[in-house]
Structure 1
Amino acid sequence: MELINKGKTKNVYKLENGNILLEFKDDVTGKDGVFDPGENQVGLTLEGSGAAALALTTFFFEKFKEKGIPTHYVSSNPEKKTMEVLAAKTFGQGLEFICRYKAVGSFFRRYHKYCEEGQDLKGFVEVTLKDDAAGDPPITKDGLILLNLMTAEEYETLTKLTKEISDVIKDILAEKGLDLYDLKLEFGRDKEGNIMLIDEVSGGNMRIYKGNQYIEPLSLPDLLLK
């Protein structure tokens, strides 16, 4: 297989059958040694975080499959910490769709003059450009269309999918007494041009609480999968 990219949290390989292999690493995003799913840099290394991310991603993708939600997931190998997925073309150089249920993290830092920390955001969806140097700036629907990153119809499809997927995850977590504050998702197109969920869905790209207690990403598999 051919190494395509060494990412912050995963290495990406191209397989002979045309699919992609994602190798999960123990690096997580954050700043000053503190995990933060909203950060765009590797902040620390947590032993076991790669295996945890793969276990949760597999769990969630299987749930999405049951509900007919399109994803790039094919299969996973827990021993090797890898997941085989369909090849996907990103929107531009990559976008993140963030669903926010509570005003925390980067949202609160940006808009703290207009909201209270922890304020209910009712599943508000925002889109950011994947651009580390620019700090992953937010972009509006009109901006996405103007820059030819997607059509108006695709934007509506993607925001609807983001909310649908986020609500599924929120409900699953609620069954375990956990509250989803926010999460980020990525989407791409398959070779036929169909939109599908890509990348991972794990504790590393969501913020979860139980009451007032923040749940560390490595703690989530024990709370959710056992």
Structure 2
Amino acid sequence: MAMKKGHEIARGKTKVLYELEGQPDVLVVQQQDAITAGDGARRDVIEGKGRIAAKTTARVFRLLNLCGLPTHYLSGGEDDDDNEMLVRRAQMIPLEVVVRGVAAGSLVRRRPGIQRGSLLVPRLIEFFLKDDANHDPLIDPDTIVAQGIASPSDVATMTELARITYEILAHAWRRRDALLVDLKIEFGRLASGEGKGQLVIADVIDNDAWRVWPQGREDLMLDKQMYRNLETVTPADLEHVKARYEQVAEIVGTFPQMRPGMVAVLIDGPENVPLAEPVAQELSRYGLPIVRHVVSAAQTPGYALQLLAQLDATFARIIYTAVGAQPGVAVLGAMLAANTANAVVATATSPVQAASEAALQIAKTFALDDTVLFGRVLLMQANARSEVLSADARLNAPPPAPPPGVARA
């Protein structure tokens, strides 16, 4: 069902933006059926491409939202939405941020010393100024700041968010035996409402925004590069491109799905029940469900083993952590580990540090095959690094200037 659109805000090569009727702070993004290359020098129309692009973008943004990343996406984008999705209005920053995990494209043309197809670790992050007339030139961070396009803090935030976004999507593609070669994203600042001024991932992320090589083979590419590589474009070529775009949209549709899992918090004795609360709180930060039981390796070993067998039989994916005080909790942890094929995370013996460490290890274990949890772990780690750097900056900040007329000791 088409959304009620108000004034047209902007029109690009492959999409049109409208105000949502009655809500000027919300925009309708309508994807078009055009496909272009060479900054619009080549242009064709593939009937249904707008529908495919809208689905792909919505599904990517749903994944990013589930991981906790800031985006402008609200809803829509599926088949019954008439190629349209709703987003929060944002003032776009005129930059394309490209994250490269494999050497390809313009990088190998600009830097012939890098072998095509080689892995790039750490990831290479580049900025390009959005300027079609000059073919979106490469621009370095110092120039971005000098020209007032973005602040040093904004550049650092975009770099970190772009890297995390790439790693999340690369994880999702790896689980489907495909290599995410590179990724292009854009950013904007929320124009109003809650979080006004916040930097968010914006625009679209569809099959035009990345290179994807199934089995790591460039000849099996699923992305827009197929179209760019065509010497001439025939109707059969466009049908082939459309089929690949449809395939990508269906694959991406599985990205935002969390795999159900359970964490069993087994508490060594009733006196240690209060110690389980910090563990539960830390696990909730990752969105992990838990069950809690009081057992005792010393006093009720039979019950502990019976409960362990019941939990193993009930949940397809379960991880255990033992909570309590030493030395009893170490015995409980060893008992669990010896009698289950599922993971038993290091026991939690203090309410703060150990609870955080146990929750992180549990989340990492589930994240091996759950992209949402993988993204949440990456974001938690990034936030922890940011807290360290902020604390260091505060510690080393110069003291405030004394009021006028007050001598400094």
TM-score by length of 2: 0.51
Q: In 2, Cα distance between the equivalents of 1:2 and 1:137?
A: 32
Corresponding position of 1:35: none
Asked whether 1:220 is paired with 2:248, we answer yes
Whether 2:26 is the aligned partner of 1:22: answer no
Query: Displacement of 1:223 after TM fit?
Result: 3.3
Q: What's 1:203 paired with?
A: 207
Percent pairwise identity: 27
Structure 1 CA distance for aligned equivalents of residues 252 and 17 of structure 2: 27
C-alpha displacement at 1:224, in angstroms? 3.6
Does residue 88 of the first structure (1) align with residue 90 of the second (2)? yes
Tell me the alpha carbon deviations over residues 173-199 of structure 1, each in whole angstroms, 9 at most, x when there is no partner: 111111100110000001221000001
What corresponds to 2:11 in structure 1? 6
Q: 1:224 to 1:89 in 2, by over 3 A?
A: closer
Gaps of 5+ in 2: 1-5, 224-243, 255-409
CA distance in 2, matches of 1:75, 1:223: 19
Is 2:46 aligned against 1:40? no
Measured in 2, the distance between the counterparts of 1:149 and 1:224 equals 33
Runs of 5+ unmatched residues, structure 1? 31-38
AA aligned to 2:249 is: P
How far apart are the structure 1 equivalents of 2:144 and 2:175? 36
- From the CA coordinates, give the structure whose radius of gyration is larger: 2
1:78-113 residue CA offsets vs partner (Å, 9 max, x unmatched): 33110111110122xx110000111111222222x2
Deviation of 1:47 after TM superposition, in Å, equals 2.6
Structure 1 CA distance, aligned partners of 2:71 and 2:177?
27
Q: 1:164 is matched with which residue?
A: 164
Deviations 1:131-153 (A, max 9, x none): 00001001101000100111111
SS of the aligned residue for 2:17 comes to strand
CA contact (8 A) 1:101 1:124 kept: yes
Counterpart of 2:103 in structure 1 is 103
Structure 1: how far apart are the matches of 2:153 and 2:11? 33
Task: Give the match for residue 117 of structure 1.
Answer: 116
- One-letter code aligned to 2:88: L
CA contact (8 A) 1:176 1:224 kept: no
- Normalised by the length of structure 1, the TM-score is 0.90
Higher mean alpha-carbon deviation, 213-222 vs 169-178, is at 213-222
Tell me what 2:290 maps to: none
RCO (CA 8 Å, sep 6+): is it higher in 1 or 2? 1
